[in-house]
Structure 1
Amino acid sequence: MKIAGLLARETLATTLVWLAPPLTAAKASSRDLHLPTRSLTMPSQEISTSLRDIRMSVIDTVAVRETPAEIHVELPADILFDFDKAVIREAAQPALASAAAILRAHTAGSVEIHGHADAKGSDAHNLPLSLKRAEAVRRWLTDREGLRVDHLKTAGFGSRRPAVPNFKPDGSDDPNGRQRNRRVEIIIEK
């Protein structure tokens, strides 16, 4: 629960910062056009509802498991990256900001960022892709969130460590399982 509260507070703060530049630019433009600024404002209840919706969608996206020794933060690759790419999507920023908040709250131990792939494609393709994705998350956390680079280690495992089976019991392909296996995990030692 402590982590969920931290995620909610950090996400709200991130969302407010994320929304501020466009609103400020819009207000400046309205002054230049001599339009009343109030036409650009939303009722506070609407803003609160929008922020709550954004916050809840981010929290639902980031899976956090805590053990006595570690905290596991799981980020679905489909949220972070486009298909077969290792460039962070703009839409992934709130989820990554939430992960950064957890990292800031637990700075004592080591941190590993693991990239994972599904069973489609070869190891020759999936291993480098999963490593590049882990490195992209590390770069985002250091460049955008100011976390120490020496504190974050990366590894790519391709399809070697699935979270769930890639195939159904009858041997047929399981698209939901494959989707769950495409992920980046951040493992924080306590």
Structure 2
Amino acid sequence: MKNTLAALGLTLLSLTACRPDKTPQGEIVSRQTPEGPVLGLSADWLFEDGRPELKPTAEPALQQLAQRVRAQPRTLLLVRCYTDSRGDDNENAQLAQVRAEAVAGWLRQHQVTVPMEVQGLGEADPLVPNARPDGSDDPEARARNRRVEIVLR
């Protein structure tokens, strides 16, 4: 019984450590997906609301991201950017694409030499619903959905 509980405790601990909902801005979250390992970061840490340019204050998080990418040799990186569901779908997709290109460009300029594909996915594939069950706005959920992910292949 003790071993079973210990195993369950370890499983629960490892699952909790991967939960993106408790991640402070600027912290990189790792998770395993069928596509491969994914490194995720809040877009709010990297970009001003509605803007495509990287913030000057994003440098430490980007440095950490580049270091982690370089430490895991791969043949391809997918740089994906997501928005929340506010605003026009097409504008969100365009903003996400330009943001993904900005992150990929920064990584290239900082010695990440792996080939990269950029994907601006806008409000597609939210981590959580952008609204509460009663339909009211959920700013915390929207913030979780605004993210940059690097898929390591």
- Shared fold (TM-score greater than 0.5)? yes
What is the rounded CA distance, in whole Å, between the counterparts of 2:105 and 2:118 in structure 1?
A: 10
- Structure 2: gaps of 5 or more residues: 1-22
Per-residue deviation, 1:60: 6.1
Computing the radius of gyration from Cα coordinates, the structure with the larger value is 1
**2-side partners of 1:74 and 1:59: how far apart?**
11
Give the alignment's TM-score, normalised by structure 1: 0.64
Give per-residue Cα distances to partners, 1:72-130, cap 9 Å, x unaligned.
11111110001111111111111111111111112233210001000000112100000
Q: Which moved more, 1:124-133 or 1:69-78?
A: 69-78
For the 8 Å contact 1:123–1:158, the answer to whether it is kept is yes
| Alpha-carbon separation, structure 2, partners of 1:140 and 1:146 | 9
Unpaired stretches in structure 1, ≥5 consecutive residues: 1-56
The aligned residue for residue 16 of structure 1 is none
The alpha carbon displacement at 1:152 in A equals 1.1
Instruction: Count matched residues.
Output: 131
Q: Aligned to 1:83, what secondary structure does the other structure show? A: coil
More RCO (CA 8 Å, sep 6+):
2
* 1:147 equivalent among 112, 125, 128: 112
- The residue that corresponds to 1:84 in the other structure is 50
Normalised TM-score (structure 2): 0.78
Contact kept? 1:59, 1:95, Cα under 8 Å: no
Alignment of 1:1-190 (within 5 A): 61-66=27-32, 70-143=36-109, 145-148=110-113, 151-189=115-153
Deviations 1:29-86 (A, max 9, x none): xxxxxxxxxxxxxxxxxxxxxxxxxxxx989621122358622111111100011111
Q: Which has the higher helix share?
A: 1
Q: Give the deviation of 1:164 after TM superposition.
A: 0.9
Query: Structure 2 CA distance, aligned partners of 1:161 and 1:126?
Result: 13
- CA distance 1:171–1:89, change in 2 (3 Å): same
- Aligned-residue Cα RMSD (Å) equals 2.1
Structure 2 residue identity aligned to 1:146: Q
